A and B are shown apart, each in its own frame.
Chain A
């Protein structure tokens, strides 16, 4: 079965640079979620989109923004990167049900 696709899988950036992470949800899923997991931490919810509209907002820094496009894929834009932004970034999607299905994640390292 098709799963959530995230790209890139690994990314290395310098401080103060920008990064864009992409997420392609499971086909026919219309809701996308972004999470950040720091080393040894639990995943923290950042933001979600339903039918291309922002739905819920968690602990997303003002330096980050996201959107969902007409084909339901989503992009997380991160600017003025800081060392503390180094983490695993997960995207999840769901359709009619409550269960969120996660992608493999993007590992971001900020140097």
Chain B
């Protein structure tokens, strides 16, 4: 049972445009959400996070939106740059404590020049 779902295995976006990556979750106990960027054979790199008490968090070109009632979050990257091409993982956990992260399957973002 996949508790964190990223339904788009891949996404192609033109350079300079907005990239929107989506993530859905089913476990109501999750209250902290993170996005990671990953290149092959490297460790995930933390991008941005959001706790369930917020509905938006922004950091530079990256914005994460959380819709708790829909159990949905999205990552917006604007403007998209060639260096953004990578696999993006959505992850979730219960807040507090040393619980492990539950990951989605990832979305391969390709930025076209």
Contacts and interface: CB of A to CB of B under 8 A. Distances in A.
Contact of A102 (B43, B99, B104, B106): B43
Contacts of A50: 97-98
Interface in B34-50: 34, 36, 41-46, 49
Contacts of B101: 33, 35, 43, 45, 92, 100
A50 B98 CA distance: 7
Interface residues of A, number: 29
B105 interface: yes
A55 B100 CA distance: 9
A56 B98 contact: yes
Given A42-B106, A98-B51, A105 B32 contact: no
A105 B98 contact: no
Interface of B: 32, 34, 36, 41-46, 49, 51, 89, 93, 95, 97-106
Closest 10 CB pairs of A and B: A45-B100, A55-B98, A102-B43, A42-B103, A50-B98, A48-B98, A102-B44, A31-B98, A104-B43, A98-B32
